[in-house]
Amino acid sequence: MQTIEEEIQKIQDREIIVGAPYDFTEKPKKPLRVVFLLPYGHEYSLLCMGPLALYDLINRRKDVPAVAERAIIYDCLTEDGQRLRTPAGETYRSIESAAPVAEADIIGVSITNSGDLPSFFRLLDLAGIPRRSEERRLGRHPLVVGGNGGFANPEILGDYLDAIALGEGEQSMLQLIDIVRDGLDEGRPKDAVLERMSQVPGLYVPSMYSYELRPSGGISSVKPRRLTVPAKVHAQYLGVEDLHDAHWVAPIIDGTCGMIVPTLGCRWACHFCTLGVPSFRQAPFDLLMSYIDKLEEIGASQIIISSPTFTQYGKRYRLLDRLREYSGRAANKVTTIIGSVRADELSARYLSAVSELGEFGHLFTELKLSSTRGIVTIAPEFASADLVAMFNKTMTLQRVHKSINLLKENEDFAHIMLYFIVGAPGETREDRAAIADYAVDIFNRFERPDGTIILKLQQFMPKPNTVSQRLPMSDPDHTEEFVQEIQDRLRALVGDQAYERNYRVLWGESSRLLLESVCLRGDRRIGRILERLYDDGMDLTALTGEQLRKVLDAEDLDHSYYLRELSIDEVVPWEVVDSVDTAQEAELIRALKERTAHDASGRRE
């Protein structure tokens, strides 16, 4: 078995900094250590653009009194129940330093999805860092900061995190570093340091707020503990000029794969999606071109275009031309993976430009196909036209048909992935049957006898800080029933042979959805429950509804509370960071209730 040191040596041998090497010689004396804990292996950790942008910014700015490091889930770690162990009791260290991670001054924890929040305990235990904020002493233990989409409801781990960076952290994290540095130099108590942090835009400090809990779950009120603490904390979304270059281009690659982010945000604002929350921004074109030049010099064989909506990037055709030139000159095959496009923004010119890249593909991480080529993703989300309109989707059936007609004329595309939501409020069996009908309609229009239609089904989950955040959700235990209905309908429509040859149905694990159902809506009691489940060694990837309800019951909490509709005047656990227009929320709730009443009336008639 290899050691951590041996594995890190291999990582360092293949990693390439895209740009000038880091120079720490002009940093302030005795800089702080900031270690970003990434709950992934090395390859995937290089795609975590949020933490990597901060890592690169801290290390390149000579005036920042800190150096940044990365610690990951090394391949040599072994599992002991839910815990991770290092080989032969080795110290858990970062890629950059042999010093223990536990001796850092600041720890940054990045979690992408709320269903992965239990990995927080795994990471801190691995590093030997006390879990709870109240157990950590400034100067003896690191300050622990959370960030990324997994903390959309930051209250779940409110007892464990010292602060949460909301939105983009280029400014708030640098201010946090200065405050910690001053606090250590001046010997200030941790509470005073956290109070100063709470005044930084974009930093939410849980310990600075007091809550009154509701017996069955949730909160009835929240207020700052001190007059200096703001009642509301808003996520920071910065202008293009304030974003560090590494926010747009991956600063480190493993020698084979580079990544660019041409756009942030989305021009559209679907009521269930967080992509439209920040304003739409486009990467500086010259920066992207310069980065691709460097990738070509390195000889990278794969380029990922990670963008919520690449078709909204104004200079996409010039960018695709540059990638085509790169692929044409390369001695070995170069593959381009495009993260996401909107079907209603496709054009013949775009499809032609993509086809000329050589090896290409759109997002297909859920698939196990032998080639990336020829896959395009389309997200109608709902098959029923009125649900499309109610949730502010613009992907009408007519627009999808137009896109299919374009794809049909281009022989480079053979597979279509359709994203649909199941379990939305007011959804009926007829709505789910319509998803199967939709898939068959698309296959018939596509006219590819050897093509594949992949249905990617996702349960409706009301995310904090979206217009749908107060809507009820289905019990995740029912998700597989919904999926089975759609599969049965598909088989009935096309027959077993065609179903096996031309259709696939994919969906998420119910265990993750169960965790999300309480993490999206919970208060700090849910964090303590996650900790108990983790300590009991329960395999959370196989969590059942019965197991979850049992542990909730033990705390006098009711799972149905988290699934129900939250009234407009109800205080939500994430109240301090909530910024949604209540008028929009009320209108969506009203429209869905009218739809349900109309459907019920029709059935009675």
Helix (H, G, I), strand (E, B) or coil at 324: helix
pLDDT single digits (tens) 169-216: 999 999 999 999 999 999 999 999 999 999 999 999 999 999 999 988
CA distances 573 to 110, 223, 279, 466, Å, are 21, 12, 25, 14
| pLDDT for residue 10 is more than 50 | yes
> How confident is the model over 375-396, as pLDDT tens digits?
788 889 999 999 999 999 888 8
Q: Which tokens is 202 given?
A: 């974009």
Distance between CA atoms of residues 273 and 260, nearest Å: 22
Question: Percent of the chain beyond pLDDT 70?
Answer: 96
Amino acid at 546: E
Across residues 333-346, what is the average pLDDT?
79
Which amino acid would we find at residue 496? D
Question: In this predicted structure, what is the pLDDT of residue 345?
Answer: 82
User: How would residue 605 be classed by pLDDT, with cut points 50, 70 and 90?
Assistant: very low
Average pLDDT, the chain: 92
**DSSP tag of 467:** T
**pLDDT band of 415, cuts 50, 70, 90:** confident
Sign, CA torsion 204/207/211/213: positive
Residue 351 C-alpha from the chain's centroid? 27
Give tens-digit pLDDT for 517-535: 999 999 999 999 999 999 9
Pairwise CA distance, residues 470 & 526, whole Å = 18
Residue 183: per-residue pLDDT? 97
The DSSP code sequence of 448-466 is -TT-EEEEEEEE----TTS
* Per-residue pLDDT at 373 exceeds 60: no
* pLDDT exceeds 70 at position 313: yes
First to last CA, the chain: 70
Residue 236 has pLDDT above 80, yes or no: yes
Indicate the pLDDT class of residue 404, thresholds 50, 70 and 90: very high
User: Would you state the pLDDT for residue 586?
Assistant: 96
**In the numeric block, which tokens belong to residue 164?**
């949460």
The pLDDT-based confidence of 374 (bands split at 50, 70, 90) is low
Q: Tell me how far apart the alpha carbons of residues 441 and 602 are, in angstroms, rounded to a whole number.
A: 26
């200079």: which residue's tokens?
315
Question: What pLDDT band is residue 369 in, cutting at 50, 70 and 90?
Answer: very low
What are the domain boundaries of the chain? 4-224, 248-463+475-501
Top CATH class of 248-463+475-501 equals: alpha beta
Phi and psi dihedrals of 141, rounded to 5?
Answer: -125, 155
User: pLDDT category, 364, cuts 50, 70, 90?
Assistant: very low
Q: With 50 as the cut, is the pLDDT of residue 491 above it?
A: yes
Q: Would the pLDDT of 367 be above 80?
A: no
- Residue of 283, 280, 358 whose CA lies nearest to 315: 283
Q: What is the pLDDT of residues 98-116, one digit of tens each?
A: 999 999 999 999 998 888 8
Task: Give a three-class secondary structure readout of 244-288.
Answer: CHHHCECCEECCCEEEECCEECCCCCCCCCCCCCCCCEECCHHHH
Once rounded to an integer, what is the mean pLDDT over residues 302-327? Answer: 92
For residue 59, what pLDDT is reported? 98
The pLDDT of residue 604 is 40
Cβ-based burial of 14 (10 A; exposed 0-12, middle 13-18, buried ≥19): exposed
Distance (Å, whole) CA 580 – CA 269: 12
pLDDT tier at 333, thresholds 50, 70, 90? confident
Do the Cβ atoms of 543 and 177 come closer than 8 Å? no
Per-residue model confidence as pLDDT tens digits over 540-565 = 888 899 999 999 999 999 999 999 99
Write down the pLDDT at residue 410: 82
| Residue count of the chain | 605
Read off the pLDDT of residues 564-587 as tens digits, 9 standing for 90 and up: 999 999 999 999 999 999 999 999
Spatial separation of the C-alpha atoms in residues 346 and 395, rounded to whole Å: 12
**pTM for the full predicted model:** 0.93
**What is the C-alpha separation between 71 and 39, in angstroms, rounded?**
9
State the pLDDT at residue 95: 98
CA atoms of 435 and 213, how far apart (whole Å): 41
For the segment 137-165, the average pLDDT, to the nearest whole number, is 95
Q: Give the tens place of pLDDT for each residue, 41-62.
A: 999 999 999 999 999 999 999 9
Burial 380-394 (b: 16+ CB within 10 A, else e): bbbbbeebbebbbbe
What does the pLDDT look like over 252-294, one tens digit per residue? 999 899 999 999 998 888 999 888 888 899 999 999 999 999 9
Question: Is the predicted pLDDT of residue 362 greater than 90, yes or no?
Answer: no
Do 35 and 104 contact (CB within 8 A), yes or no? yes
Given a cut of 90, whether residue 359 has pLDDT beyond it is no
For residue 339, the model assigns a pLDDT of 73
For the cut 80, the answer to whether the pLDDT of residue 598 exceeds it is: no
Residue 148 confidence (pLDDT): 86
Whether 352 shows a pLDDT value over 90: the answer reads no
Confidence grade of residue 340 (pLDDT, cut at 50, 70, 90): low
Does position 365 have pLDDT exceeding 60, yes or no? no
- Confidence grade of residue 591 (pLDDT, cut at 50, 70, 90): very high
